[in-house]
Amino acid sequence: DQQVKQNSPSLSVQEGRISILNCDYTNSMFDYFLWYKKYPAEGPTFLISISSIKDKNEDGRFTVFLNKSAKHLSLHIVPSQPGDSAVYFCAASDYGGSQGNLIFGKGTKLSVKP
């Protein structure tokens, strides 16, 4: 029973265009969400996060949107660059919970073509 779902295993976009990665969650107690990026043979690296009190958080080319009523969040990358090609994991946690409550989705493999 997946609490965090990334329904698209892969996504391919052209360099310079927008990449939109989606994530859905089922647990209404989740109130903190993170995106991690992972290159092959490396550990995941933190990318951006958002608290449930916000609906948008922006960091350079990366923006995360949160729709609490739909239990949906998305990561926008604009413009996409070939170096963005990686697996992106969505993760969610409940407030006050330890990192031990951080639940990851299965990931979406993004390919950005030159």
Partner 1 sequence: NAGVTQTPKFQVLKTGQSMTLQCAQDMNHNSMYWYRQDPGMGLRLIYYSASEGTTDKGEVPNGYNVSRLNKREFSLRLESAAPSQTSVYFCASSEATGPNTEAFFGQGTRLTVV
Binding interface with partner 1 (CB under 8 A): 4, 6, 9, 31-32, 34, 36, 41-46, 49, 51, 89, 91, 93, 95-100, 102-107
Cβ proximity to partner 1: between 79 and 111 the closer is 111
For the chain, first and last CA: distance in Å?
A: 38
Q: What is the distance between the alpha carbons of residues 101 and 19, in angstroms, rounded to a whole number? A: 28
Query: In whole angstroms, how close is the CB of 75 to partner 1 at the nearest point?
Result: 15
Query: In whole angstroms, how close is the CB of 33 to partner 1 at the nearest point?
Result: 10
Query: In whole angstroms, how close is the CB of 106 to partner 1 at the nearest point?
Result: 5
Beta bridge partner(s), residue 13: 112
Query: In whole angstroms, how close is the CB of 16 to partner 1 at the nearest point?
Result: 28
Cβ proximity to partner 1: between 20 and 102 the closer is 102
Cβ proximity to partner 1: between 17 and 46 the closer is 46
Q: What is the distance between the alpha carbons of residues 60 and 44, in angstroms, rounded to a whole number? A: 19
Smallest CA-to-CA distance from 30 within 47, 10, 7, 49 is with: 49
Angstrom distances, CA of residue 77 to CA of 28, 31, 50, 87, 108: 26, 22, 15, 13, 14
Which single residue is written with the structure tokens 């413009």? Answer: 79
Cβ proximity to partner 1: between 13 and 90 the closer is 90
